[in-house]
Amino acid sequence: MGMICAVVFGRNGQLFYANPGDLQLSVGDRVLYPTEHEPVAATVLWPPEYTAEDTDGFPTLVGRATDDDEAAAEQTKKAKARALVATRKLVRLHSLPMKILAVDPQQSKTVIYYSSQETVDFRSLLRDLSSTLHVRVELKQVSDRDAVRVTGAIGSCGRDTCCSTFLRDYDPITLEMARDQDLPLNPMRISGACGRLMCCLKYEHPMYQQFKATTPGIGAAVESPHGDGTVVGHNVLDDSVVVKLAADGSREVCNRASVCAARKAYESR
């Protein structure tokens, strides 16, 4: 058990978890988060709280951000904006089929992230960037999903996309998950801002799998509290089934356990 909190670097950036150490923090406090190069000013979005999980692998906050740290963060922000504008101008000048997403100034170089649907020969662009920004430049191509993670977007749910807030790793998402959840196989309905299948299809899928494995299928004959009948529908979220009664053809909503053969066998014993 240990303490853990979450911080963000931007206004709607991704969550980064950390051990608060001895700091007593509240939402909105400015702190220093350790990075590979140097501590960076960040904002507390989730105050420290105890967790039963092992927190040894999380970095420990360096301390609270001072005025000098805030000034350095502001200078870095302005440097990113200038580099982003200059890079996009040069991309248009060279007529390259690439979209510049973000700029990350570091101690010895500046990393520029871009997306493209084709292979790009950016050797001439790289030379112009180095002379314009007066620093060694590294261009990194990112995938469609990582592009949304870098820039941020709003999902169909009306909230910030999962990848731009808390997701670190992408689990495989398949059409079978959408079928199991009775979702329309319309790409416009089940695709995220990146154009790929929505990551959130994974969240409730285990519940649908368990329901499917333990519930009589559509068309199965069952004994319900209202009489014998046939299953004609499933309601996964409220753990029930719709039964068409053999006696009069009416339909009744029954709890899944009341028509489950395994449950009935257990109760009879």
Q: What is the pLDDT of residues 101-147, one digit of tens each?
A: 888 887 778 889 998 888 888 889 988 998 888 888 989 888 877 88
For residue 262, what pLDDT is reported?
47
For residue 213, what pLDDT is reported?
85
Residue pLDDT, tens place only, 81-103: 989 999 999 999 999 999 998 88
**How many CA atoms, within 13 angstroms, populate the side-chain half-sphere of residue 15?**
17
Residue pLDDT, tens place only, 155-198: 888 888 888 777 777 778 889 899 888 888 888 888 888 888 89
Q: What is the band of 261 on the pLDDT scale with cuts at 50, 70, 90?
A: low
For residue 92, what pLDDT is reported?
92
How many whole angstroms from its chain centre is CA 17? Answer: 15
Query: Mean pLDDT score of the chain, rounded to an integer?
Result: 85
pLDDT at 268 over 60: no
pLDDT at 17 over 60: yes
| CA distances to 1, 43, 98, 108, 254 from 105, in Å | 36, 20, 20, 8, 60
* Domains of the chain with CATH codes: 2-65 (no CATH), 70-142 (3.30.300), 212-268 (2.30.30)
For residue 266, what pLDDT is reported?
41
Taking the complete model, does pTM exceed 0.75, yes or no?
A: no
For residue 168, what pLDDT is reported?
72
For residue 13, what pLDDT is reported?
65
Across-strand partners of 115?
99
- Mean per-residue pLDDT for 22-51? 88
Residue bearing the bigger pLDDT, 108 or 25: 25
Residues of the chain above pLDDT 70, percent: 95
Residue pLDDT, tens place only, 207-216: 998 888 888 8
- Residues near 132 by beta carbon (within 8 Å), at least 6 away in sequence: 86, 90
How many whole angstroms from its chain centre is CA 189? Answer: 18
For residue 12, what pLDDT is reported?
61
pLDDT at 202 over 50: yes
Reduce the secondary structure of 100-161 to three states and give it as a string: EEEEEECCCCEEEEEECCCCCCCHHHHHHHHHHHCCCEEEEECCHHHHHHHHCCECCCCCEC
Q: How far apart are alpha carbons 162 and 164 in whole angstroms?
A: 5
